[in-house]
Amino acid sequence: MIEVKKSEKAKEIKYPVARKSKFNGEVVVFSGENSGIVVKVGHPLRNTVGTVSENWTSLTNESTWEPVDVHISG
């Protein structure tokens, strides 16, 4: 018999989640693994605030993104 369990290392991601690009400092708020919106531009400028994409490099890619805390108010 084989019993399959969720890895203890695997965490369920609770969206939205913010990540900062290690390449240019751009901050993206993700609504899915590859979907998100730019909330802070980076340097050099690649995207503008409000740019939406469903094709970002996966937010779990640690060579591209670092976790950041953002507070949304309004």
The pLDDT of residue 74: 76
The pLDDT of residue 53: 98
The pLDDT of residue 10: 55
37-47 pLDDT, tens digit per residue, is: 999 999 988 89
Low-confidence ranges of the chain (pLDDT < 50): none
Q: Which long-range contacts (CB under 8 A, 24 or more apart) does 7-15 make?
A: 13/59, 13/60
- Domain spans of the chain, in order of start: 17-57
- The model carries a pTM of 0.83
Cβ neighbors of 55 (< 8 A, separation 6 or more) are 34
